[in-house]
Amino acid sequence: MRGWVMGEFPLSGDDGHPALFLLQVPQRPLEATGCLARLPAGPAATLAERVKAFFAESRPGPAVLVGALPFDPHADDALYQPARLAAPLPASAGAPPALAGGIVAEPSADAYADMVARGLACLGAGEDAPRKLVLARSLAMRATRAVDPRVLAARLGRDPGVVAYVAPLPVGDGEAPAWLVGASPELLVSRRGLVIESHPLAGSARRCADAGEDQRTARSLLDSAKDLDEHRYVVEAIADALAPLCSTLDVPARPSLHATATMWHLGTRITGTLKHPAPSAAALAALLHPTPAVCGTPRAAALAAIQALEPVERGFYAGAVGWTDAAGDGDWYVAIRCARVQGANLRLFAGAGIVAGSRPADEVAETAGKFLAMLNALGIRDEGVSDTQGEGHVAAQRPSLQGLSL
Ligand SMILES: C=C(O[C@@H]1C=C(C(=O)O)C=C[C@H]1O)C(=O)O
């Protein structure tokens, strides 16, 4: 376990970016500014005890920790006690940042298709081999000036199917502050008293501009054996992890549809009542993360395959963002549909679950669809997707996705 080196977190106003954490959950939106104390960093396995030790000390200020868990459960997390809590001001979305230069796909769409093919080859190859694997790719781009995470979050938050978020990320000495900014449709876990909820998603299809075709896409997703298979692994893993901790656990037998502005997903709303002693929301998040929705199954084999196959480190993408308070309540969302933003640099991430029967070209298309939330927030429109975010027009000088092989 190692503590934060002073200055590696964007915590003060010196650089024009006061510490900002934002989680726009409809029933309980949270905006946290400033930082009173950092939680000593560590892996997921020690999060519950670190959180407990933190709240055991008497401390001035809000009795809450906010922050992010990285994708790799063995890597250091980034949680801190903010100085102030407030309901977020209704942010005006404003203009997207202007981009300088092109978009660099890392890996390229073709290299990603190869990666998926290699991933498919290792599925089920031996007893310990993964049965599901989630493989991700990234798009790197630069804005003409430092990106304001708040503007991006406000633009992302116009979609009622997502929870927009901003979380500060650790950076190296002397580097500009970095943020994870995104719009998650997926609740990892929430806890209020003994009541818990999780809404895992897996199995996806890109939405269509034509209403009839959009409905047909949704219906065929509900009937897709491959997608139901992908989904089942996630629900089983979450239900198996929660069952020993709960006195009641309701797991619907079949998933239902969840819509964002750009994607359809299969989702299962799992609810339960915790037994005493009830683990905190942070402990529950650490227990569940990373689920087969972002990693695969079995977890260790999928994690090893991801680390061997993906050329770009995920960092905090596909981790979790959220808060936990001294009473143990909290909300944790899966950190997807996001970008790492540092100064004028952005790196977007998107991944897709691969099971027997997946096809590389389909996974390229699915990840391209998943990039759209963030690309649209950046003012990059795709003519194939309906303008459900209400912008109404495509500014002529804004880049279009047409012709870009994403
Ligand atoms: C990994 C991502 O999304 C996850 C994977 C999904 C899938 O494979 O169908 C669906 C929702 C998320 O759980 C992502 O958006 O980057």
Could you tell me if the CB of 370 is within 6 A of ligand 1?
Answer: yes
15 lies in some domain: no
Return the pLDDT at 173.
86
Of 71, 132, 134, 163, the one to substitute when testing ligand 1's pocket (max ligand atoms within 8 A of C-beta) is 134
Could you tell me if the CB of 186 is within 6 A of ligand 1?
Answer: yes
Could you tell me if the CB of 107 is within 6 A of ligand 1?
Answer: no
Distances (CA, A) of 241 to 62, 190, 194, 234, 324: 30, 15, 16, 11, 19
Closest CA to 8 of 181, 182, 178: 178
Could you tell me if the CB of 336 is within 6 A of ligand 1?
Answer: yes
390 lies in some domain: no
Spacing, Cα 267 to ligand 1 middle (Å): 11
Residues 6+ apart with CB under 8 A from 241: 287, 288
Could you tell me if the CB of 187 is within 6 A of ligand 1?
Answer: no
304 lies in some domain: yes
Return the pLDDT at 404.
54
397 lies in some domain: no
Q: What is the largest CA-CA distance in the chain?
A: 59
Model-level pTM?
A: 0.92
Return the pLDDT at 102.
87
DSSP assignments along 344-385, one per residue = TEEEEEEEEEE-TT--HHHHHHHHHHHHHHHHHHTT-B-TTS
Spacing, Cα 224 to ligand 1 middle (Å): 16
Cα–Cα distance measured from residue 354 to residue 229, given in angstroms and rounded to the nearest whole number: 10
- Residue 39 has phi, psi (to 5 degrees) of -75, 130
Closest CA to 83 of 57, 65, 56: 65
Cα–Cα distance measured from residue 67 to residue 180, given in angstroms and rounded to the nearest whole number: 10
Q: Is residue 358 within 8 Å of residue 211, measured between CB atoms?
A: no
Return the pLDDT at 394.
30
- Total structural domains in the chain? 1
153 lies in some domain: yes
Closest CA to 184 of 57, 381, 339: 339
Q: What does DSSP say about strands 246-250 and 201-206: parallel, antiparallel, or unpaired?
A: unpaired
Return the pLDDT at 401.
57
Query: Residue 154 is which amino acid?
Result: A
Q: Give the atom of ligand 1 at the shortest distance from the alpha carbon of 291.
A: 13
Return the pLDDT at 90.
60
| Count of residues in the chain | 406
Return the pLDDT at 386.
34
291 lies in some domain: yes
92 lies in some domain: yes
Of 230, 294, 366, the one to substitute when testing ligand 1's pocket (max ligand atoms within 8 A of C-beta) is 294
60 lies in some domain: yes
Could you tell me if the CB of 287 is within 6 A of ligand 1?
Answer: no
Return the pLDDT at 128.
86
CATH at 26: 3.60.120.10
Residue 326 gets which letter from DSSP? T
Residues 6+ apart with CB under 8 A from 260: 159, 161, 162, 183, 185, 207, 337, 373
Q: Is residue 39 within 8 Å of residue 54, measured between CB atoms?
A: yes
Q: Encoding tokens for residue 7? A: 């200055």
Residue 328 gets which letter from DSSP? S
C-alpha gyration radius of the chain? 20
- Side-chain-side CA neighbours of residue 316 (13 Å): 29
Of 201, 228, 314, the one to substitute when testing ligand 1's pocket (max ligand atoms within 8 A of C-beta) is 201
Question: Along the chain (406 residues), what's the average pLDDT of each consecutive run of 10 residues?
Answer: 36 54 90 94 98 95 97 98 82 80 93 97 89 98 93 94 97 91 98 98 96 97 96 98 98 98 98 97 98 97 97 98 97 98 97 96 96 94 42 38 55
Cα 24 from chain centroid (whole Å):
13
Domain that holds residue 94: 20-377
Residues 6+ apart with CB under 8 A from 126: none
Q: Is residue 336 within 8 Å of residue 295, measured between CB atoms?
A: no
Burial class (CB in 10 A: 0-12, 13-18, 19+), 109: middle
What are the catalytic residues?
132, 186
ipTM value, please give it. 0.99
Return the pLDDT at 16.
42
